[in-house]
Amino acid sequence: MTVELSLTRDPAHIRHGSNIGQPMTRTDGVLKVTGKARYAADNHPPGMVYAVIATSCIARGRVTALDVAAARRHPGVIDVMTPAHKPELAEDPDAKGNPFAFRMELLQSDEVRYANQAVAVVIAETLEAATEGAALLSPRYQVEIARVGLDAGEAYAPPVVGIGNPAEVRHGDIDAGMAAAAKLTDSTYQTPAQYHNAMEPHAIVAVWDGDRLFIDTPSQGMGFAQMRIAGLFGIPPANIHINSPFLGGGFGSKGLISGPQVLGIMAAKLIGRPVKLVLRRSQMYGPVGHRPPTRQRIRIGTDESGALTVINHEARVTTSSFDDFYEPAADASHTLYASPAIRTAHEAVRVDTGTPLFMRAPGEATGSIVLESAIDEAAFACGIDPLEFRLKNYAEVEPTTGKPFSSKALRQCYAKAAERFGWAGRPLQPKQMRDENGFLVGWGVGTATFPAIMFQGNARAVIRADGKGVMETGAHDMGQGAWTALAQISADSLGLDFDQLTFRSGSSDLPDAGIAGGSGHTATVGAAIHNAGAAVIAKLAELATSDQRSPLFGAGNAGVVARAGRLHRRDDDARSEGYADILARAGLAEVDATGSGAADAAAQSQYAMHAHGAVFAEVKVDPELGQIRATRLVGAFAAGRIINPLMVQSQLYGGMIWGLSFALHEEAVMDHRSGRILNANLAEYHVPVNADVPPMDVITVDEHDPHVNPLGIKGVGEIGITGSAGAVANAVFHATGIRVRNFPIKIEEIVMGLS
Amino acid sequence: MMNFDYVRPASVADAIAAGSEKGASYLASGTNLLDLMKGGVSRPSRLVDVTRLPGLDRIEHLADGSLRIGALVRNADLAHDAEFARNYPAVAEALLSGASAQLRNAATVGGNLMQRTRCAYFYDAGSACNRRWPGAGCDALKGENRLHAVLGWSEGCIATHPSDFCVPLVALDAIVEIEGKGGRRELPLEALHRLPGETPERETALERGDLIVALRLPSEAQGFARHARYIKVRERTSYAFAVVSAAAALRIVDGKIREARLALGGVAAKPWRAREAEQVLAGAAPDAAAYREAARAALAGAKPSGDNAFKIELAQRILVRALTLAAAGTPDRIPALPGSPFSSVAGA
Amino acid sequence: MNLPLSLTINGVRRDIVLDDPRVTLLDLLRERLDLTGTKKGCDRGQCGACTILVDGRRINSCLALAVSHDGAEITTIEGVGSGGELHPVQAAFIAHDGFQCGFCTPGQIMSGIGLIQEGQAGDDPERVRECMSGNLCRCGAYQGITEAVLEAQSDMTASKQRRSA
d(CA A564, CA A494): 9
Region A188-211: what's the mean pLDDT? Answer: 98
Whether C58 and B101 lie within 8 Å, measured CB to CB: yes
Residue whose C-alpha is closest to residue C31's, from A216, B81, B294, A45:
A45
DSSP 8-state class, residue A50:
E
For B195-219, the pLDDT digits (tens) are 999 999 999 999 999 999 999 999 9
Same fold, A29-37+454-598 and A40-145+197-284: yes
**Rounded distance between C-alpha atoms, residue C40 and residue A280, angstroms:** 9
- Identity at A511, one-letter amino acid code: P
Burial class (CB in 10 A: 0-12, 13-18, 19+), A99: exposed
Considering only A93-107, A694-708, B9-23, which range has the smallest mean pLDDT?
A93-107
User: SS3 sequence, chain B?
Assistant: CCCCEEECCCCHHHHHHHHCCCCEEEECCCCCHHHHHHCCCCCCCEEEECCCCCCCCCEEECCCCCEEEECCCEHHHHHHCHHHHHHCHHHHHHHHHCCCHHHHHHCEHHHHHCCCCCCHHHHCCCCCCCCCCCCCCCCCCCCCCCCCCCCCCECCECCCCCCCCHHHHHHCCCEEEEEECCEEEEEEHHHCECCCCCCCCCCECCCCCCEEEEEEECHHHHHHCCCEEEEEECCCCCCCCCCEEEEEEEEEECCEEEEEEEEEECCCCCCEECHHHHHHHCCCCCCHHHHHHHHHHHCCCCCCCCCCCHHHHHHHHHHHHHHHHHHHCCCCCCCCCCCCCCCCCCCC
Phi, psi of C71, deg, nearest 5: 90, -5
Q: How far apart are CA B339 and CA C65, in angstroms?
A: 31
Nearest residue of A to residue B147, measured between CA atoms: A748
- Check residue C29 and report its DSSP letter: I
Q: What is the average pLDDT across A1-28?
A: 61
Confidence at A19, pLDDT banded by 50, 70, 90: confident
Q: What is the mean pLDDT of residues B109-127?
A: 96
* Cβ–Cβ under 8 Å, residues A148 and A670: yes
Taking CA atoms, what residue in A is nearest to B146?
A748
DSSP C90: H
What fold is seen in the domain A40-145+197-284?
A: Aldehyde Oxidoreductase; domain 4 (3.30.365)
Answer yes or no: do A127 and C103 touch at CB < 8 A: no
| Sign of the four-CA dihedral A734, A740, A741, A744 | negative
Q: Which residues of A touch B146 (CB under 8 A)?
A: 746, 748
Q: Three-state SS for A590? A: strand
Contact residues, chain A, for C26 at CB < 8 Å: none
Mean pLDDT of chain A: 96
Q: What is the pLDDT of residue C82?
A: 84
The sheet that has B272-273: what strands, in order across it?
B228-233, B244-253, B256-265, B272-273
Number of H helices, E strands in chain A: 16, 30
CATH number of B5-52: 3.30.43.10
pLDDT at C164: 78
Residues of B in contact with C56 (CB under 8 A): none
* pLDDT at residue number A755: 74
pLDDT for C84: 84
Fold of A29-37+454-598: Aldehyde Oxidoreductase; domain 4 (3.30.365)
Residue A181: pLDDT over 70: yes
CA angle B141–B144–B149, rounded 5-degree value: 55
pLDDT digits (tens, 9 = 90+) for A271-290: 999 999 999 999 999 999 99
Q: Is B82 on the interface with C (CB under 8 A)?
A: no
B256-265 vs B244-253, strand pairing mode: antiparallel
Consecutive H or E run containing A540? helix A521-545
Residue A224, H or E segment: helix A222-233
Inter-chain contact A246–C101, Cβ cutoff 8 Å?
A: yes
What residues 63-122 of chain C have any CB closer than 8 A to a CB of chain A? 76-78, 80-81, 86, 90-91, 93-95, 97, 99-106, 109
pLDDT band at A2 (very low <50, low <70, confident <90, very high): very low
pLDDT at A697 over 90: yes
Report, at the CATH architecture level, how domain B224-343 is classified. 2-Layer Sandwich (3.30)
Radius of gyration for chain A, computed over Cα atoms and rounded to the nearest angstrom: 27
* CB-CB neighbours of C13 under 10 Å: 9
Kindly report, residue by residue over A330-381, the tens digit of the pLDDT. Answer: 999 999 999 999 999 999 999 999 999 999 999 999 999 999 999 999 999 9
| Cβ-based interface (< 8 Å): residues of B facing A | 1-3, 40, 118, 120-121, 124-127, 139, 142-144, 146, 231, 233-241, 243, 310, 313-314, 317-318, 320-321, 337, 340-342, 346-348
Phi, psi of B171 (to 5 degrees): -65, -35
Q: What is the pLDDT of residue A10?
A: 42
Angle between the N-to-C axes of helices A645-664 and C142-164, in degrees from 0 to 180, rounded to the nearest 10: 120
Residue A473 belongs to what H/E stretch? Answer: none
| CB atoms near residue C126 (< 10 Å) | 17
Q: How far apart are CA A342 and CA A172, in angstroms?
A: 7
| Domain ranges within chain B, ordered by starting residue | 5-52, 224-343
Residue A116's pLDDT is 97
Tell me the chain C residues in contact with residue A195 when contact means C-beta distances shorter than 8 Å. none
What integer pLDDT is reported at residue A12 of this predicted model?
40
Res. C1 pLDDT band, cuts 50 70 90: confident
Q: Is the ipTM of this complex over 0.95?
A: yes
- The answer to whether residues A298 and A313 touch, using CB atoms and an 8 Å cutoff, is yes
Q: Is residue A718 flagged as an active site residue? A: yes
DSSP secondary structure string for all residues of A235-282: --GGGEEEE-S--S--TTTTSS--HHHHHHHHHHHHHTS-EEEE--GG
- Phi-psi sector, A363: left (phi>0), alpha (psi -120 to 50), beta: left
List A residues 258-287 in contact with C (Cβ-Cβ < 8 A): 278, 280-281
Model confidence pLDDT, tens digit, residues C4-30: 999 999 999 999 999 999 999 999 999
Catalytic one among A419, A718, A748, A749?
A718
Q: How is residue C26 annotated by DSSP?
A: H
Chain C residues closer than 8 Å to B30 by CB? 63-65, 68
pLDDT digits (tens, 9 = 90+) for A119-145: 999 999 999 999 999 999 999 999 999
| Chains in touch with C (≥3 Cβ pairs < 8 A) | A, B
Query: Does the pTM exceed 0.90?
Result: yes
A159: buried, middle or exposed (CB in 10 Å: 19+, 13-18, 0-12)?
A: exposed
Nearest to B259 by CA among B247, B251, B271, B267: B251
Identify the pLDDT of residue B344.
56
Chain C CB contacts of B3 under 8 Å are: 20-22
- Domain coordinates of chain A in residue numbers? 29-37+454-598, 40-145+197-284
Q: For residue A135, give the nearest of B40, B124, B231 by CB distance.
A: B40
Our CA-based measurement puts residue B321 at a distance from the nearest CA of chain C, in whole angstroms, of 22
**CA–CA gap between residue A478 and residue A460 (Å, rounded):** 21
pLDDT of residue A721: 98
pLDDT on residue A7: 37
* In chain A, % of residues over pLDDT 70: 97
Interchain contact, B338 vs C134, CB within 8 Å: no
DSSP C65: B
Q: In this predicted structure, what is the pLDDT of residue A557? A: 56
Across residues A4-18, what is the average pLDDT? 44
| Tens-digit pLDDT profile for residues B59-77 | 999 999 999 999 999 999 9
The share of chain A scoring above pLDDT 90, in percent, equals 95
Distance, in Å, from the CA atom of A478 to the CA atom of A569, rounded to the nearest integer, reads 40
pLDDT for position A17: 54
| Contact indicator for A655, C104 with CB cutoff of 8 Å | no
Strands A342-351 and A308-320: parallel
H or E stretch at A568: strand A566-569
